[in-house]
Structure 1
């Protein structure tokens, strides 16, 4: 029984493929390569280039490879872009997810893992956000993800399929063995940008907003290592395999770092005092997003192994350096 991983050539999806392959699971990857890279897909996985919104193609893949589990990572993820181009996000994250879910239901898929986001909470009032916090996204990105969660909730009530949605906080780092990492050159993730600035791939780093109601005026975020996140997905699969009911879990460490703190840590780890510009706020950025992760720890027994900001930055920096070398060799 194979697992279909949509977006498996992208950042987080490729780490899920690594975890599945390392565990000896059969994996099929479906990715249109709009932001992913086929060279990041584990060689043991079957790779198919295509659109997750193509119901006919997805149904064919499910039948041919006896898919009973879908792990859905495909989608658009840049919050500011979602504010300026909301229809792109409702198409990629909601409409195409609806088509994927439809194909899954019609083809008898039993389990569905969904890559959701802490952006569904919006500007939460709680210092530590639990899964029961009000859902009030402040960006089309967050809304598009919440709409897919709602579809899964309703569909799994009407059909014999169960789901787990994992609400990520700020994912960062790279595979400690150097097999995958954040590879989109113009990505907006803070730690990615900081490592690029440290290596001279960017002229500077922008801090967007210094007047937030936080200790140093910059946004607070809960950074989770991508490999710990992949492990959480594997535990969620075990949970569904054991007959667990549909549910949602936060994925974070419960510790927040400000933008300024991350920048200083990146300078310390890299040994480079790269230039930093102070800019105005970006639309759609909440002041604070810090997880309460008790539910996933208690229900799945999740115990992070890489809960260390400097380690996250070291792995991200090593991956960024390998990308720089790859580009130089290809030139």
Structure 2
């Protein structure tokens, strides 16, 4: 991060005598943080709602979905498409297995991301083997599970890994072992599980599976701390891949990737336009940041990060209060 610069400012006292005083110039990141925070506060919740509504007319210039259409039985939701140009093409055990999985690489030209991201739908019982072929192929350091298996009485994701410590399960040609839980029992935000992945006659590798615990079944979280802490865990392994999923792999998944891109833009001292970030992600992963509630929660999380740096604290506090009121009535998943 750029160091704060100290300059000599000259002012006149009451008698017209020029005196010098040391003033501290904000670093480029801090200036970017403050500018974004103040702009967010000025927009208020209603302004952010109106801003999100403009995304309805956004259509990517490249939007072929031929593989999605050919593999309807592999798609959890018929209305959540998977673009051809960014889809992850499976190579392991192909043939006889197919090369399709509802997953897309998500990259950015707006900043230098320290990690690689893949967004995918929550595995189904019929696609769980494909999910582990994806994991074996991409060798991620992290899998982030942003939904529960059951939410609101409906299945959102198949139970795709062994639950018990020391337990091993076979998914096609991929062997998956739950090695141990690595998060302390006092951890309320996420659960971290060390997973060993292996294929016969090949070296095994180990990853961490993060289960986000405090996203409510309906609505959005009241705090951004969970998202920020999970992203920090991913950043601990720079230049590695993280596979992110929720149920459809676009709403919560798109929100956490958008948050990381937004933070990196600000940390590079650049002006942040959140709409531009989401449009870039949606051009790769259709429908990313799916709901108004997720869009506003993204701003809440970014402001929480800025607030922790003691920047624009009083103004941000006003936004936090209005967000809590909004979150109490929000039904976005």
What TM-score, normalized by structure 1, do the two folds share? 0.28
Larger RCO of the pair (alpha carbons < 8 Å, separation 6+): 2
Q: Tell me the TM-score normalized by structure 2.
A: 0.28
